[in-house]
Amino acid sequence: MAYNTILIEQDQFIAEITINRPSKLNALNKETIKELSKALKDLDKDKSIKSIILTGTGEKAFVAGADISEFANFSVKKGAALAKEGQETLFSFIEDMKTPVIAAVNGFALGGGLELAMACHFRVASDNAKMGLPEVSLGVIPGYGGTQRLPQLIGKGRALELIMTAAMIDAPRALSIGLVNYVVTPEELLPLCKKIANKIANNSPVAIGHAIKAVNAGFNTTLDGYKTEIKAFGECFGTADFKEGTTAFLEKRKADFPGK
């Protein structure tokens, strides 16, 4: 499939997706969401891909927000449908992927952009990054999971303050409250993400997929995270990756996991 709004590169077992709408500061529109969804679904099925890095073109913006012009005149029904479709096709899908997705936040990550970064499994930011959820300044709330994921990451009080003030925070502040894992210079951003991805690649993709599922279950009020963990832990014992990992350990060699 040819993509109009994203670029995809593969370096061995790492895929890099770049949102490529520089004239719009990489703002999310319907086409971008659709293309990201398709690309991520394909990569999640690809056994050769062990990690995905998601970033934006240039150094100004990761994703500066949603394309407001697309929904400024929506009705209540259309607004709810927009949020539901976006969550199901992209944001919640990323969170539940068995392939780890690292957000390389290279500039502004506002509104839907921050929601996209939060849907990834963790975030690395450049020191010029700015993050926030300014939706209430437009008379709306975050609709792509922001009201749920931000409190999970930084706590209820801090999340409510950021949402209600529509404030932007810089990268050091984001690091201090746990919104991002690391802050580095723009030049160091992708190399660090790739270094982390290489460490991930040394481990069992099947076990990592189960770990993601178990951790996510702990934040889902309809599920028992501990029971999900027990079930996932047991299922690992029936996999080729478990057999290879334990055999390699006992034989004192590096494991060569079959993959997801």
Taking the chain (260 residues) in runs of 10, the rounded mean pLDDT of each run is 93 97 94 97 96 96 89 84 92 97 98 97 98 92 92 96 96 98 98 98 96 93 75 83 88 86
pLDDT at 260: 66
Render 24-58 in DSSP notation, one character per residue.
GTT-B-HHHHHHHHHHHHHHHH-TT--EEEEEEST
CA distance linking residue 27 with residue 22, whole number of Å? 8
Which residues, in sequence order, are CB contacts of 230 under 8 Å at separation 6+? none
pLDDT of residue 127: 98
State the helix-helix crossing angle for 225-236 and 205-217, rounded to 10 degrees.
170
Same domain flag for 56 and 18: yes
| Domain CATH number, residue 24 | 3.90.226.10
pLDDT for res 210: 97
Please tell me the predicted confidence (pLDDT) of residue 199: 97
Same domain, 160 and 84: yes
Quote the pTM value.
Answer: 0.89
Looking at the structure, tell me whether residues 226 and 180 fall in a common domain: no
- What per-residue confidence (pLDDT) applies to 225? 67
Read off the DSSP letter of residue 87. Answer: I
Residue 259 domain-assigned (yes or no) = no
Amino acid at site 22: P
Q: Which of 115, 187, 188, 244 is flagged as catalytic?
A: 115
Are residue 188 and residue 60 in the same domain, yes or no?
yes
User: Looking at residue 73, what is its pLDDT?
Assistant: 81
If phi over 0 gives left and psi between -120 and 50 gives alpha, with beta otherwise, what is residue 170?
Answer: beta
* Residue 245 lies inside a defined structural domain of this protein: yes
Rounded Cα distance, 117 and 122, in Å: 8
Is 35 part of the annotated catalytic residue set? Answer: no
Assigned domain for 1 exists: no
What separation in angstroms does the CA of 15 have from each of 46, 146, 252? Answer: 10, 25, 30
Asked if residue 211 and residue 197 are part of one domain, the reply reads: no
DSSP state letter for 89: I
Determine the structural domain holding residue 71 and report its residue range. 6-201
**Number of domains present in the structure of the chain:** 2
3-state SS class at 222: coil
Among candidate residues 95, 135, 187, 235, the one labeled active-site is: 135
115 is catalytic: yes
User: Could you tell me if 213 and 96 are in contact, meaning their C-beta atoms sit under 8 angstroms apart?
Assistant: yes
